Structure 1
Amino acid sequence: MARRTELAALESALAAAADGRAGAVLLAGDAGVGKSRLLTELTSRARDDGVKVLTGRCLDVERAGLPYLPFVEALGRLPESGASRLDDAMEQLRLFEAVHTELADLSADSCVLLALEDLHWADAATRDLLLFLVSRLNRQRLLVVATYRLDDLHRRHPLRPLLTELARLSTVDRIELRPFDRADAMAFVSALSDSALPDETLRGIVDRSQGNAFFCEELIAAYGSSVPAGLSDLLLARVERLGRNAQQVVRAASGAGGEVEHSALQAVTQLDDLDEALREAVQHNVLVAADHGYAFRHALLREAVYEDLLPGERVRLHAHYARVVTSPASLAYHALQSHDLPTAFKASVQAAEEAVELRAPAEALHHVEQALQLFGAVRDPGVTEYSLQRLASRMASAAGETERAIAYARSSIALADDPESGAEARHQLVVTLIPLETASAEIAAAVSEAWDLVKDRPPSVTRAKILALRAREWAWYGGAVLDVEGLERLAQQARAAAIEVGAEDVAIDALATMAIYAEWRDRVEEAHELGRAAADRAATIGAYNVELRALNNLTVNLAQRGLYREAVAVADEIVERAAEVGLTWSELAVEARVTSNGVLFSLGARTAADAITDHSAAPHWAALRIEAANLFPLAAAGRFAEVDEAAARILANAPDARTVVRVRLALAEVALWRGNLRQTADESIRVIDWLTDLPLPWVALAWRVGATALCALADTAEHAWRRRDEKAARDAVTEGERLHDRVLSHGRYALEGQWREEMRNPETICMEARMYAELTRLHGENDIEMWRTAVAKSAAFKYWQISARWRLAEALHNDGRRDEAIAELRTAHADAVHMGALPLRDAIEAWAKRARIAVGDVEPDSDDLFTPRERAVLELVASGLTNRQIGERLYISEKTASVHLSRVMAKLGAGSRTEAVSLAYDRGLLA
């Protein structure tokens, strides 16, 4: 619930009233913001707690100016007197005292909540009575809550003096209910629509409603582009109260499309008394003064007024604006709306160019797309469609709209009419496809075609760019086929070619590539220096995409070396720089956000809940990527329903492969904690299938999903053995062994190729240790030393270390080393609590209870069926030891061990040692 803070304040005031400290709360907010909904929630909770709730509502005084109406509704009648008998002040005073006395009497036995709605419509008598009552609040068990609309309070509104008087009283508090912020609005709209609307529609509703709850509901109900009729009537009612000139100004302002300057309004309306008309519109909260002119108090009010104009009025209005506006963006808008297509086209191109200069890619994309729509309607455009398509691709990529960037890049290839432009178009396509990681064939073909177009041509910027692109061949070929020395020489040639033609940005890009190859050839310090030099120089000349790429390579370099804090610092630098230069939602900026958050979560520096990043302001594809990265922390926090809902929505939108993989990882984790072991294994295998098709080995990820799958299969085998289902157990073991071999082949592939740094990556080492430890569990051994190694290798991966430590405790406990097991388990539990990893915490606590170990505030089960010695024998039997081995381990004779086992079997009603172990597991008597 987005109103937790406000509801808590109201409940606190009600609790104080119940303790004999009477008070009043004025609940203010615009129409539709949620005052009534919040008050309804309060009154419902109050009734459940035994509070007497009295409610009354004021009506619009222009329609029904009934004196004391809300008090009549609340009390059922007015005691001792009525409005018709109030012929003098004395009679009114008697009435006021009578109401005061009745409320005091009602609150003598229990707390009373008097809820008065729509105080902005209160008549004078009601206002006077309210002031009388509130000014006499003292020790009564009474809370008065009154709502009113802020947007109805013009400067001379009669409620204003009363609010001033009430504000002076110490017993009165004021809560201003503001619209939802974007994140809360998205959650509200999504819940209200049962997540049935497309993301684009949800975002549109949130944008248009500006966080107003009622507007959200109406727009969802309408599910269209226009303002719903009922909402339009509500909004226009305020405009209709204005005088004729003020209404004319408001209608003219609606055509501006946003904020409108005073001079533009003067030119369009040509009113002699414009100031007076504006003053009236502002005083009635229809318009508000803005930085450079005037704007509507709410965007939907502007829409309603605009839609109320006749078609001819709109065209004439826009034609007037087109003659007076000065910015290309405004001219493009008004020229298009007034059907002047040639002017609209040229202004759109100019607006796009201006937005590029201002580093506003989303705005540039909007304008260039508008120009493309008008291209066929203009005889002499002055620019080529090819150049517009390429610009659209660049701006879409910069704005985080990858899908559109790819589409425009592909279109521009077909429009290229010479070798240089053909090569440039293919270069743009390749740089948009590389992050998807699944378009290797298309990328390789495009690079080859681009090089064929320019390889025999004289030196040029385009030729240098394609040469530099060819030096990045690992991105689409990868594996053992790469000649790293040859590619490094190619990058050096590209740098020299770029310097020759004066293309410094291309030369710096080649330098960033050279830094990568230096790292691969174990020249680590040189790699870092080259990467930092490339980033710094790119920043100096304004080659921002190159700068972000160089910084991204630095981040990867540092992470591969286990310098995670330093990697986070560079990732944060990318995010900050991207925002500064208008690339906030570009591919590299989004990945930097994800990297920073993910590393901090892995280190344990950020809890599961804190690792969930807000993505409400991001464009479609960027939002999907960030939301997908949020899913694993959500799973770790135990918020499974949120993972289910978001995963279904993300997968339905067919995003890029890396986003799908992040969803699969989260679904596998959720399935594991839910006990859906088959689903865990299947989701992991899907990821391994994807990794097999990649041109580059991703060993850390392969071994991570391998460990997860082996964990699920080990649990499957263990449960099958307990059920004495030998076939199911052996099938799980066989499947796990085959999967393990598949994952290992991925690592061998890395060793054979030029990716040995993947094998030295601390994450790879951590996941390798986890995988081998899970393999011992699959085989029923649960090797202590393997788990101890997994704990040690997971130092920088706190979540996995907690899991490994729990398994180590289990292995120690099964081996009879109870004291060591307790120490490890308590450490794991404390870390899980600190991280907010609730499913992991719950699993540890459940196992601890079965093992009769106290962790945190959780006490072990006290009604143990077995004596300590019997339990020790049973646990060793479960680990596969014979009676002789048990005797040796516990320093008792074989015969004594047999006696203890016989007692255990008798207590369980088991006919064999195997059945005893199975029954103990089934009844939760063994961990």
Structure 2
Amino acid sequence: MSIHTVSPQFVGRARELAALRGALDEARAGGACTVLVGGEAGVGKTRLVGEFTASAGDALTLVGGCMELGTEGLPFAPFTAVLRDLVRRLGRDEVAALVPGGDTRGLARLLPEFGQPGPEGREARARLFEQVLGLLERLAEDRPVVLVVEDAHWADRSTRDLLSFLVRYQRGEARLLIVVTYRSDELHRAHPLRPLLAELARVGWVTRLELGRLTRREVLEQAAGILERRPSPADMDMIYSRSEGNPLFVEALLGDPGGDTLPESLRDLLLASVERLPDETQELLRVASAGGQRIEHDLLAAVASLDETALSGALRPAVAGNVLVVDGEGYAFRHALIREALHDDLLPGEHTRLHTRYAEAISRDLSMLPAPRGAIELAHHWHAARDNTWALISAWGAAAAARTATAFDEQLRMLSRVLELWDRVPDAAERIGAPHAEVLRLTSVAAYQAGEFERGAALASAALEEIDRQAEPDTAARLLRHRGLIRFSLSRPGYVDDLREAAGLVPADPPTRLRGQVLETLSRMLTRPDQLEEKISTARQAIEIARQVGDDSTHAHALIDLTWAQCRYTDAEGPIAGFAEARRIADRAGAYFAVMRGTISESDALEGAGRHEQAAQVAREGIAIAEQYGLARSSGTFQAINLAEPLFSLGRWDEALEVIEHALALLPPAPHQASLQGLAADIALARGQADRAEALVASSRKVLSRGAFRSQSVLPHACREIELLEARGRLDEAREAAARALREHDLMDDSRYSWHLLLTLAQLGGPFLPELRSTAGWVAVEGRLQRAQRQTFLALTGPAPGDDAEDTGAWRLAAWQAAASAWAELKQPYAEARASLGAAHAAQALGDRQEATARHARARDLAERLAAVPLLDQLDAFARRARLAVADGAAPQGQPLGLTARELEVLEQVTRGRSNREIAAELFISIKTVSVHVSNILGKLGASTRGEAAAKAHAMRLFDR
């Protein structure tokens, strides 16, 4: 008779295994898919995933586990393990060739084989995240990929953030399945994984599997597999009652078949398999338990002080007894509970002594562990050894390593530990080479980059209180600049004051990089029209200093500030060239944040000046650059906003919706998502889709209600709220919202968005027209777009009391004609159509039927092309009242049944029997966009199925050649 340490038979998980296989089939077919597998410790999560991956066929399986260090996890541990495994399998060069854009500096933060990391900062973190996802997607082009992240209950915040990013942004076309395991019994109410699981569970392609305990019948099957015989009924009763169906406990209970008694405690149960091993093996396992769940061979050898022969001799029984398993270049405990029981069983002296030995071994050769793991584990072991001096020194070093890896939360934790230990180490400043105020500053920076703005501001203020600003002007200036940035992010007052004080502290002679950075930041934050001259002067000073000290990044940013200030929304060609020059300088320096900012600012300036075609072109270039830099889902989706906006202006609404749908499919950050949905709501309102507009506006409202946002976000949203109420016929509420908007918003801040709001309010009319006229008199008119908006505003509000307008009717007609001409010159068909309707009304009031008919015809032609249903209804109502001789409103030539050009293209593909995926590939659009077009086509054709739509298209001979 023989006995196995684990059952050779996989028991009781048929449903869960089928669910994982179904998820892989779904991913293989092109559907985004993530499975979260939860269950208590020992219930069989790892065994289930192992059985699944073993049967995954041609799929590429990548497995990485989170690692516990004390109460915190190691940053990015599972992804570092996956990357190292890929390099081992494919080679460094082949992996590098798969990285989007070919720049591996982001991955170098996880694995030093990829060279030196690029510039640090929050943008670097975003780039790292997108490169990891891009790498997985490129791998999945050849075959499906299964990414397994184990033990997520130990994940640090950096790991959780990257995991959330991968799940939320995975594309179905990528054929990527993500499987995450975690201990559900570890998730106390304050556990940081709980909110992430709740958030991910709301994502449409995420499924949660909860592994329960085995039934009595299943425990019997497991026991029979281990013993190779069925246990007696009495033994079975005892095994089932003691294990309560937990597979690990069943294995432990059956692990000593010759024993006369069963273990009395869980600890005894877990350690039973260890206590049967030779003494030297037990001692080695106790040593290993202090190293964590997974430990490298070289590190274990160094700490155990054994030669290879002795080490191998001690290890073999542990591996044979299934207490340890070989894991890459080291070993892992078969179950974390076994390691925890061993570690908890150490005496206090043993605990301190072992962690000291680990710290000393790592100190002798930090390279035996990959960066930043070596520095962070070193800090963990010195802290666990209760050596305050070395705990402080190692935490300082670990913070620097975490910063390089963009693990800002880990950096913040390490720096917080330095502050905590400061008073316990008398010569702390000398030990780390930095004063307490500098540690506070760096901790504040880490808090800011980790998104803890309030804490960052408090730490910066604390640091400022510790220093003499006159004696340490540079340090004070850095702190003031940093606090100014945080206050700006929080929309708190005082950020300009901080930056002005910082500029006053740094001497102008000799020029320094710090002074250039401070002046550039100040210039960037001077956003009000009354600060324009100061902004220009400050930007020029920053440019001159940056040139002198060779700081290309600051030079590029300052040139963007200057160009923006000089061109604003004017029509001049010259100043715009500054954006191209800034991008060239930034590109030369590898300052990709400046490159992105340059394209965003340029496209925004062009759109604000009414140069819509140029704005769209620059935005397209920006999206391509974002993809090249690996920032498609962050900077790229912001650029999509700047592309959709000019497309809306140009009346290319279906194209704009495709851009929006594609960007939203990438699940952009919430503020970007709100802006994209807002633009989609504008089109829905113009086309009379009130329900869709209301849903989009409500979604945007949730985002905007959670923070402070600038005019470019809040003013368009205010317009949409008002227009939606007007579309619903709730005019009194719309006027109340309009009055509230006038009270709450500063219309002097940004003329581009202020004029839009003024036009929306003027369209309503009402008792606040005098206030509107007064306000409009103060809002700047900086370019063609603002002039067209102002002209339309005048036509809506009429001559003010006291204006010289003898014939008000003639004045109104001239005003509307001028407005229509201005919008036509800008190539904005929707605005031109509305102005033409205004001109038609004015002409009819004067009795000029010929002009009224001509203006009406022009407006109707434009509105039909746009499918602007509410405007078409207004035009038809006007024609009936005025009894104009016009056509009955057939769809424009070339667009049968009101189908748009894109919908005709999609319908042609449908008639050929192609699927949504095939159509998407043919037309270079997303599958979701195809689905939207097909739904619209079915509605317009009155068809219930694709086949019926195709039959109608054939009957009408739409695509005969």
- For the superposition of Structure 1 and Structure 2, which TM-score range results when normalised by the shorter chain? 0.5 to 0.7
Does residue 553 (structure 1) correspond to residue 607 (structure 2)? The answer is: no
Does residue 734 (structure 1) correspond to residue 766 (structure 2)? The answer is: yes
Aligned equivalent of 2:359, options 322, 337, 343 = 322
Aligned equivalent of 2:401, options 345, 354, 366 = 354
Overall identity of the aligned pairs, in %: 16
State the 1:734 CA deviation. Answer: 1.5
CA distance in 2, matches of 1:569, 1:827: 32
CA distance in 2, matches of 1:822, 1:323: 84
Does residue 514 (structure 1) correspond to residue 562 (structure 2)? The answer is: yes
- Give the TM-score normalised by structure 2: 0.51
State the 1:788 CA deviation. Answer: 7.3
State the 1:252 CA deviation. Answer: 7.7
String of CA shifts for 1:70-93, please: whole Å, max 9, x gaps: xxxxxxxxxxxxxxxxxxxxxxxx
CA distance in 2, matches of 1:426, 1:369: 21
String of CA shifts for 1:658-694, please: whole Å, max 9, x gaps: 666677677667767776666666666655555426x
Aligned equivalent of 2:545, options 473, 497, 509 = 497
SS of structure 1 residue aligned to 2:889? helix
Question: Equivalent residue for 1:575?
Answer: 626
Question: Equivalent residue for 2:678?
Answer: 632
Aligned equivalent of 1:202, options 195, 201, 224 = 195
Letter in 1 for 2:399: A
- Give the conservation status (yes or no) of the 8 Å contact 2:840–2:853: no
Does residue 857 (structure 1) correspond to residue 857 (structure 2)? The answer is: no
Question: Equivalent residue for 1:213?
Answer: 208
Question: Equivalent residue for 1:420?
Answer: 474
CA distance in 2, matches of 1:670, 1:357: 48
CA distance in 2, matches of 1:258, 1:179: 17
- Give the conservation status (yes or no) of the 8 Å contact 2:571–2:783: no
Letter in 2 for 1:734: G
String of CA shifts for 1:173-231, please: whole Å, max 9, x gaps: xx999989958977999xx9xxx99998522667999977245999xxxxxxxxxxx99
SS of structure 2 residue aligned to 1:821? coil
Seen in structure 2, the aligned counterparts of structure 1 residues 411 and 358 have a Cα distance that, compared at 3 Å, is same
State the 1:442 CA deviation. Answer: 1.5
Aligned equivalent of 1:343, options 386, 390, 397 = 390
Letter in 2 for 1:427: R
Seen in structure 2, the aligned counterparts of structure 1 residues 287 and 672 have a Cα distance that, compared at 3 Å, is farther
Letter in 2 for 1:567: V
Aligned equivalent of 2:749, options 676, 696, 703 = 696
SS of structure 2 residue aligned to 1:213? strand
Seen in structure 2, the aligned counterparts of structure 1 residues 211 and 827 have a Cα distance that, compared at 3 Å, is closer
CA distance in 2, matches of 1:253, 1:763: 72
Does residue 429 (structure 1) correspond to residue 500 (structure 2)? The answer is: no
SS of structure 2 residue aligned to 1:822? coil
CA distance in 2, matches of 1:803, 1:250: 76
Question: Equivalent residue for 1:532?
Answer: 580
1:200-599 matches, within 5 Å, as 201-203=194-196, 213-214=208-209, 234=246, 237=249, 240=252, 243-244=273-274, 260-266=295-301, 272-273=312-313, 276=316, 289-290=327-328, 293=330, 302=336, 306=340, 310=344, 318-319=355-356, 321-325=358-362, 326=366, 327-357=374-404, 364-365=411-412, 367-379=414-426, 380-381=428-429, 382-395=433-446, 406=457, 408-417=459-468, 418-434=472-488, 438-439=491-492, 441-454=493-506, 459-472=511-524, 474-475=526-527, 478-479=528-529, 481-482=530-531, 484=533, 488-520=536-568, 525-560=573-608, 561-562=611-612, 563-573=614-624, 575-576=626-627, 579=630, 591-592=638-639, 594-595=641-642
Letter in 1 for 2:439: L
SS of structure 1 residue aligned to 2:434? coil
CA distance in 1, matches of 2:243, 2:728: 45
State the 1:570 CA deviation. Answer: 3.9
SS of structure 1 residue aligned to 2:585? helix
Letter in 1 for 2:672: I
Segment drifting more, 199-208 vs 487-496: 199-208
Letter in 2 for 1:856: L
CA distance in 1, matches of 2:859, 2:536: 37
CA distance in 2, matches of 1:784, 1:394: 65
CA distance in 1, matches of 2:727, 2:444: 43
CA distance in 1, matches of 2:193, 2:725: 30
Seen in structure 2, the aligned counterparts of structure 1 residues 794 and 753 have a Cα distance that, compared at 3 Å, is closer
Seen in structure 2, the aligned counterparts of structure 1 residues 155 and 831 have a Cα distance that, compared at 3 Å, is closer
Letter in 2 for 1:604: D
SS of structure 2 residue aligned to 1:343? helix
State the 1:366 CA deviation. Answer: 5.1
State the 1:656 CA deviation. Answer: 3.9
Letter in 2 for 1:391: L
Letter in 1 for 2:195: L
- Give the conservation status (yes or no) of the 8 Å contact 2:523–2:535: yes
- Give the conservation status (yes or no) of the 8 Å contact 2:168–2:200: no
Question: Equivalent residue for 1:100?
Answer: none
Question: Equivalent residue for 2:231?
Answer: none
String of CA shifts for 1:50-74, please: whole Å, max 9, x gaps: xxxxxxxxxxxxxxxxxxxxxxxxx
- Give the conservation status (yes or no) of the 8 Å contact 2:677–2:696: yes
Question: Equivalent residue for 1:227?
Answer: none
Letter in 1 for 2:604: V
- Give the conservation status (yes or no) of the 8 Å contact 1:787–1:804: no
Extract unaligned runs of 5+ from structure 2: 1-9, 23-42, 56-143, 150-162, 170-178, 214-241, 256-272, 367-373, 791-821, 846-851, 907-924, 945-961
- Aligned-residue Cα RMSD (Å) equals 6.4
Segment drifting more, 754-763 vs 372-381: 754-763
Question: Equivalent residue for 1:749?
Answer: 780
String of CA shifts for 1:759-800, please: whole Å, max 9, x gaps: 8999996786587689899999999887877789999xx989
Question: Equivalent residue for 1:604?
Answer: 654
1:58-69 matches, within 5 Å, as none
CA distance in 2, matches of 1:764, 1:698: 20
State the 1:753 CA deviation. Answer: 14
State the 1:331 CA deviation. Answer: 1.7
Letter in 2 for 1:452: G
Seen in structure 2, the aligned counterparts of structure 1 residues 521 and 674 have a Cα distance that, compared at 3 Å, is closer
- Give the TM-score normalised by structure 1: 0.53
Seen in structure 2, the aligned counterparts of structure 1 residues 324 and 793 have a Cα distance that, compared at 3 Å, is farther
CA distance in 1, matches of 2:506, 2:597: 25
1:69-108 matches, within 5 Å, as none
- Give the conservation status (yes or no) of the 8 Å contact 2:547–2:555: yes
- Give the conservation status (yes or no) of the 8 Å contact 1:31–1:149: no
State the 1:651 CA deviation. Answer: 5.5
State the 1:446 CA deviation. Answer: 1.9
String of CA shifts for 1:546-572, please: whole Å, max 9, x gaps: 444334323323434212432323432
CA distance in 2, matches of 1:673, 1:566: 33
State the 1:422 CA deviation. Answer: 2.0
Seen in structure 2, the aligned counterparts of structure 1 residues 295 and 450 have a Cα distance that, compared at 3 Å, is same
SS of structure 2 residue aligned to 1:349? helix
- Give the conservation status (yes or no) of the 8 Å contact 2:583–2:594: yes
- Give the conservation status (yes or no) of the 8 Å contact 2:759–2:789: no
State the 1:823 CA deviation. Answer: 2.1
> Rg larger in 1 or in 2?
1
String of CA shifts for 1:829-873, please: whole Å, max 9, x gaps: 6489799999x999999xxxxxxxx953289xxxxxxxxxxxxxx
State the 1:633 CA deviation. Answer: 6.7
State the 1:387 CA deviation. Answer: 2.9
CA distance in 1, matches of 2:841, 2:212: 53
Question: Equivalent residue for 2:258?
Answer: none
CA distance in 2, matches of 1:624, 1:414: 36
